[in-house]
């Protein structure tokens, strides 16, 4: 390539996961890190030395969210991808301004006219840092979530007020963005994309090790991995499983969130329920390989659903296991033939029926799941999606 690509993202090299989690007092979702690395590995295969990453750690602030009040700058390399971790003051109210200031200073020193900047997510410090860069430097932002839907759990009035203020700044700074990558076409309107170029990239998958054999009767595990907020339908899954009478069925849950207490109480009452808490990506992959059915209980209720493509849908499909979920507005029609949809008329009964139908006709379901795996591995892998992105940068 003739031009350099600078990728900005709140991420960490996968081999640093243990270090990052060790110092975190509150753990966030690992899905954004997986998305970014699936894309980065694909970009590196195409761009090679022309790709460089500037990252900040996606961690909470000191003292409640993290043990460190100051985060250091450090250089790193992971699987051929070169990067620099931008340090910052990691305390409330100073954290984001510190990150924006440091990022702006670094970009002025390293980025030249004709170079490309790709930002993952509508992250305010990065958008502020690029706001006044010369127009000769093109900026592309990958928007995986609309800012107004960042806080789906219960938050205080103060947090809500501060979030609204921040969102106004985000949309102001996005006026400088030249191109958009969105998860769903519906995102373009609230983002005010207008006549600026955009492409849809609903997700990226990576090859996932899976046990293709039919699970034994004693291991008909139904797995959910992800954020345990009620808005994501976890209550429907708990209620649906309580009605399932298939012999050997178990419910495996891993993740963190507001429903943890209820899940732990259910685990004590029902020996079929296994709660693993927050797990590393390696542990999640292991559970996925052993499970019979993978479930996403998010319903199509709420405006945010048309702006969202759940990342776990791609991860689930790549495993070659049957995926049960509700039909969501943000999921393109090309996926319909590969998924097992639950009837949303009665969300709990519909989910129960869909799971039982898969377990009762597992050989047929497995054949469909293997076709789904082939579809995403061939069409939505990191290199394929990175190739689309890099071609898009020439628009």
Condensed to tens digits (0 to 9), the pLDDT of residues 101-132 reads 999 999 999 999 999 999 999 999 999 999 99
pLDDT at 206 over 80: no
Give the predicted TM-score (pTM) of the model. Answer: 0.83
User: Which of 22-26, 130-134, 235-239 has the weakest average pLDDT?
Assistant: 22-26
Binned at pLDDT 50, 70 and 90, residue 142 comes out as very high
If one counts the domains in the chain, the total is: 2
Residues 248, 362, single domain; the answer is yes
Do 261 and 297 lie in one domain? The reply is yes
What number is the average pLDDT over the span 208-225?
A: 65
Residue 18 has pLDDT above 50, yes or no: yes
Computed over every residue of the chain, the mean pLDDT equals 93
d(CA 364, CA 207): 22
pLDDT digits (tens, 9 = 90+) for 23-80: 999 878 888 998 999 999 999 999 999 999 999 999 999 999 999 999 999 999 999 9
Structural domain contains residue 96: yes
- Give pairs for 13-18: CB < 8 Å, separation 24+: 13/76, 13/78, 13/81, 13/83, 14/78, 14/281, 15/78, 16/76, 17/280, 17/281, 18/280
Average pLDDT over residues 352-380: 96
pLDDT at 156 over 90: no
My answer on whether 124 and 230 are in the same domain is no
Q: Kindly state whether residues 283 and 140 are assigned to the same domain.
A: no
The reply to whether 194 falls in a domain is: yes
pLDDT bin (cut points 50, 70, 90) of residue 210 is very low
The verdict on 305 and 332 lying in the same domain is yes
Hey, what's the torsion of the CAs at 91, 163, 13, 295, to 10 degrees?
Answer: 130
For 314-318, 360-364, 384-388, which range has the lowest pLDDT when averaged over its residues? 314-318
The mean pLDDT value for 263-292 works out to 94
Same domain membership, residue 303 and residue 155: no
Is 181 found in the same domain as 271? no
Give the range of the structural domain holding residue 287, as residue numbers without chain letter: 217-379
Alpha-carbon distance of 101 to 378, in angstroms, equals 41
Whichever domain contains 316, its CATH number is 3.40.50.2000
- Are 53 and 188 in a shared domain? yes
Give the pLDDT band (50/70/90) at residue 350: very high
């Amino acid at each position: 390539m003739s031009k350099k690509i600078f990728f900005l993202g709140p991420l960490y090299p996968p081999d640093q996961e243990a270090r990052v989690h060790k110092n975190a007092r509150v753990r966030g979702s690992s899905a954004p890190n997986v998305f970014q690395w699936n894309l980065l590995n694909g970009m590196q295969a195409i761009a090679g030395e022309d790709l460089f990453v500037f990252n900040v750690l996606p961690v909470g602030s000191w003292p409640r969210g993290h043990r460190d009040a100051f985060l250091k700058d450090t250089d790193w390399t992971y699987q051929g991808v070169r990067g620099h971790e931008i340090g910052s003051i990691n305390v409330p109210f100073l954290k984001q301004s510190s990150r924006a200031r440091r990022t702006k200073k670094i970009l002025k020193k390293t980025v030249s006219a004709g170079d490309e900047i790709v930002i993952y997510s509508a992250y305010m410090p990065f958008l502020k840092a690029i706001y006044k860069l010369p127009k000769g430097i093109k900026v592309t932002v990958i928007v995986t979530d609309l800012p107004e839907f960042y806080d789906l759990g219960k938050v205080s009035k103060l947090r809500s007020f501060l979030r609204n203020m921040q969102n106004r700044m985000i949309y102001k700074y996005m006026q400088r963005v030249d191109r958009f990558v969105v998860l769903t076409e519906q995102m373009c309107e609230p983002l005010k994309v207008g006549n600026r170029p955009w492409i849809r990239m609903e997700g990226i998958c990576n090859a996932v090790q899976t046990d293709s054999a039919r699970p034994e009767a004693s291991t008909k595990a139904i797995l959910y991995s992800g954020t345990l907020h009620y808005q994501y339908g976890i209550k429907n899954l708990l209620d649906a499983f309580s009605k399932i009478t298939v012999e050997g069925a178990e419910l495996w849950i891993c993740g963190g969130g507001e429903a943890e207490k209820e899940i732990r109480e259910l685990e004590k009452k029902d020996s079929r329920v296994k709660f693993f808490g927050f797990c590393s990506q390696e542990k999640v992959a292991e559970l996925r390989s052993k499970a019979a059915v993978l479930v996403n209980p998010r319903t199509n209720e709420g405006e945010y659903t048309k702006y969202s493509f759940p990342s776990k849908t791609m991860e689930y499909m790549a495993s070659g296991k049957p995926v049960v979920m509700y039909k969501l507005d943000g999921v393109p029609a090309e996926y319909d033939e590969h998924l097992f949809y639950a009837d949303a008329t009665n969300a709990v009964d519909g989910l129960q029926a869909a799971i039982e139908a898969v377990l009762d006709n597992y050989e047929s379901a497995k054949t469909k799941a293997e076709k789904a795996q082939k579809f995403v591995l061939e069409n939505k892998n990191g290199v394929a999606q990175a190739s689309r992105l890099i071609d898009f940068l020439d628009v």
